[in-house]
Amino acid sequence: MVNKVKYSGKLIIGLYPDGRYLRVAYLSKHKDRFRLIDAKSCILAYAIEPAPTQNELLPDTATDSSQDPILIDLTSDMGQLDSENSEATPASSENSDSVQIDSPDYPARNDAIRDGEHVPDMLSEIDLLQNDSLPNPQQRAEPESTTAAANEKSMSSDAIYTEKERADQDNAAILLDALSPYAKKKIQLAICMAEPHIYYSYFDSDWGLTGKKLKLRIIDELSRQKPENQIINPESVFILKIANGKILAIVRETEISMLHLIETISENLGRRLPNISISSVEISLVNLVKANYVFQENDISVIVYAGNDFSRLIFMRGNELDHISPIIGEGTDSFGESISVLANTLRSRLLLEQDDMNLPKINNLILTGEASRSEVAAVLVESFGEDATIERLKLKNLSVEGIDRAQLDALPEVSVALGTAWSAFDDSNEMLYSVDMTPFEIKEGQKVFKLGSIVWLLLIMIPLITFFTTQKIVKQNKQQNMLKIALQQRQIELAALNEIQTRVDEASARLTYFLNTFGVLDSMVCGTQTWSSFLQRTIRQTQKIGSIWLTDVQSPAANSATLK
């Protein structure tokens, strides 16, 4: 049962498949306040994701997928869990606004398992088809009776496939049971993954490059470690600048089985699939610590994490990530009840990493996951207790009002899922590392859902837009018809004016002709007055004398004439 805690604001559900367990953390955010709604661990029919191994640390290591199927009796594990559950007794405490995971008695499983969480009972023998999810036979031997039963049991390929289908259905039912109480509300899923889905590479310099150029240079460096025909997709590479100016490249390599499981139950989660973000185990833990701790600038702090299948040491210098140790391919499932063996392994690896990194002192040890058990803390105190502060993860900035003590004690189990949800919630916080490894096709698919409200608004506005557009078109058509009629009238008037203009042009041409003629006549008359006066005087003189005969008339100068 999901804890019935009322909340307001947005809800993010962190999911982390930790071997045979599905760690789930429900986190809400109202304004700037983070609040824990619930936390639980569910037993899966089989491990959803393959367990990381030390050999998978190298990016170019080939994995052998041709191993024969392994049959395993799950009843032995279930009996083991029942014995652990019978010994676990939840304690009670008052509600508070912060949680400190430092009680000496840490229950082996959370209340969900103690209350009888859904466990498939039809899979007494199942082909897991994922050998990496099983314990190493050299580390944890099967009981002889179980091994004998598995060897004597013969299955056809069809029978094996049927059992695998049943296991997939059971895992889907478990996941749906964890998500369905909140499916009607707006939720976001934050998924965490580990190796072999991702691997890390360090670079001491950025070569003076930034942005895309830096990514291309890092991809070129990483490609040299790969086979020639293997291409690194730029969208699967993520770059972080960590302590001392170093560059950490996070590379996503394989498909994530958890996504396929979510797709199978998408129809039962409502009309659409929730938004999904993906991060890594180590980055989620670092962000969770950064959100709740403030260290001195030169302090060396180590996040000690132990899960079901593997363990990890994460070094921080001040509040920045400094180094992620090679994976420790041993977890609680590797040793069963012998948690002290795992504690000694963690101590040995921690001393080795301290020597390799030349660290004179470790100031803080923060225990997360199964490493927060009292046995692990006791072993680490023997070697580091004098110099280092050793404590279980404290979530100072998380409100846990309404959460019972049993769930608070179980929080270390879901610390990775909680860190993943916190990172997705607080993605705008510049203090945290922003890493979203969601595949490109899923991001593109989610963009449609992000614009859903706008699309619905446009759908509502379409009839209104159509009505007003139609009215506008009708009005424009009327105006256009009126302008056409006016244009025709103007064209008739223009034709009449053109005819008048033609007549004016003809009259103007005639007037020009007359003016030219008058000009010629005026030029011909020039000087005739003088000669007219001369002739009149000549006539008068001739009349006086009676007659005269002129043989020659000359004008030697202006206004003078000589007669002969």
CA dihedral 507, 509, 510, 511 (to 10 degrees): 90
pLDDT of residue 480: 94
E strands, 237-348, are 237-241, 247-252, 275-280, 300-306, 311-317, 320-324
β-sheet with 33-43: strand ranges across? 275-280, 187-193, 10-18, 21-30, 33-43, 398-399
DSSP symbols for 424-476: HHTTT-TTS-------HHHHHHHHHHHTHHHHHHHHHHHHHHHHHHHHHHHHH
Query: Quick one: tokens of 459?
Result: 């759908």
Please answer whether residues 383 and 362 qualify as being in contact, where contact means their C-beta atoms are separated by less than 8 angstroms: no
Separation CA 111–CA 3 (nearest Å): 11
Query: What is the pLDDT, as a whole number, of residue 400?
Result: 86
Residues of the chain with pLDDT under 50: 1-3, 55-97, 103-157, 449
The ranges assigned to domains in the chain are: 10-197+254-288+399-450, 451-526, 534-563
Long-range Cβ contacts of 263-266 (<8 Å, 24+ apart): 264/168, 264/172, 265/172, 265/175, 265/176, 265/179
Neighbouring residues of 58: CB distance < 8 A, sequence distance ≥ 6 = 199, 225
Largest distance between two CA atoms of the chain: 183
Residue 183 DSSP SS3: coil
| pLDDT at res. 263 | 83
pTM, rounded to two decimals: 0.64
Residue 223: per-residue pLDDT: 86
In sequence order, the β-bridge partners of residue 305 are 312, 368
Q: Is the peptide bond before 196 cis (omega within 30 degrees of 0)?
A: yes
Q: Please tell me the distance from the alpha carbon of residue 264 to that of residue 52, in angstroms, as a whole number.
A: 25
CA count, 13 A, side-chain hemisphere, 219: 17
Q: Please state the length of the chain.
A: 564
d(CA 80, CA 371): 19
Q: Please give the pLDDT value at position 564.
A: 85
Say if CB 120 and CB 43 are below 8 A apart. no
pLDDT tens digits, one per residue of 100-135: 555 434 333 333 333 333 333 333 332 323 333 333
Q: How is residue 237 written in tokens?
A: 């590479």
State in Å, rounded, how far the first CA of the chain is from the last one.
Answer: 155
Q: Are 179 and 13 in contact (CB under 8 A)?
A: yes
Any idea which residue has 């964890």 for tokens? 178
Alpha helices in 56-193 (DSSP H): 75-87, 111-114, 144-152, 157-179
Backbone angles phi, psi at 399, to 5 degrees: -85, 130
Amino acid at 47: A
Q: How far apart are CA 397 and CA 394, in angstroms?
A: 9
Residue pair 68/38 in contact (Cβ under 8 Å)? The answer is no
Element (H, E) at 13: strand 10-18
Of the candidates 79, 324, 334, the one whose C-alpha atom is nearest the C-alpha of residue 194 is: 324
Handedness of CA 290, 293, 294, 295 (dihedral sign): negative
